[in-house]
Amino acid sequence: MNTAPAIAISLCAVCLFLQPGGCEIVVNRYASRSTMILGFSWENCDGAGQPAVLKSLALSPDPITIPGDLKASAAGSTTVAFTSPLAVNLTLEKEVAGFWVKVPCMDNIGSCDYADACLLLDTAIPPGQDCPEPLHTYGIPCHCPFKAGDYTLPETDFYLPNVDLPYWLTNGNYRIKGVLGINGKELGCLKVTLSLHSN
């Protein structure tokens, strides 16, 4: 059983929003806070019109508490292989006084362009090293290339460790748009909305 690149990238989009450097450990220039994610929702930008489509993504509980336990399941499909360089373009917006304002890219958080998500995966999990659980148990790949096909991640328990957010990432409503592409061709697009509360 495998998981689609679209699933991995959708979760990575949230991770990149929360932590700079492709979900690496955040340095101590940020203040440590407990965080809650409320009202998480998602949708494909263009329905089923693109090669990569996320069919389902369920996260519980709501709110999601960090640090804390999380249940996640997902399914998706892609009609094309995902190979390097796999570009990821993220647009992060925050609601301010009823208007959506684009958050610039700062310290690899915000509206950032990543030239190759495959390299981010190789940085997080060195090639030749076993994929982390639960990926290893289900035989889910964690490096490019990802083959075309249908993919499913059954309901799985995760523990979310503490996240150190930058001081400027304040409480509020956010929306994230993530676009996948190879050589200028858009392969998939996902929109995520959530509310962030930290103390």
pLDDT at 186: 92
Alpha-carbon Rg for the chain in angstroms: 16
**90: nearest Cα among 73, 115, 72, 66:** 115
Q: Which pTM does this prediction carry?
A: 0.80
pLDDT at 139: 67
Q: For the domain that residue 126 is a member of, what is the CATH number?
A: 2.70.220.10
Q: Domain count of the chain? A: 1
Q: Which residue range forms the structural domain that includes residue 28?
A: 5-198
pLDDT at 136: 79
Distance CA 106, CA 40 (A): 23
pLDDT at 195: 95
pLDDT at 155: 93
Contact (CB, 8 A) for 89 and 117: no
pLDDT tens for the chain, 199 residues: list them. 333 344 444 444 444 333 333 333 333 334 456 889 999 999 999 755 789 999 999 999 999 999 999 999 988 889 999 999 999 999 999 999 999 999 999 888 899 999 999 999 999 899 888 888 877 787 678 889 989 988 888 999 989 888 777 777 789 999 999 999 999 899 999 999 999 988 7
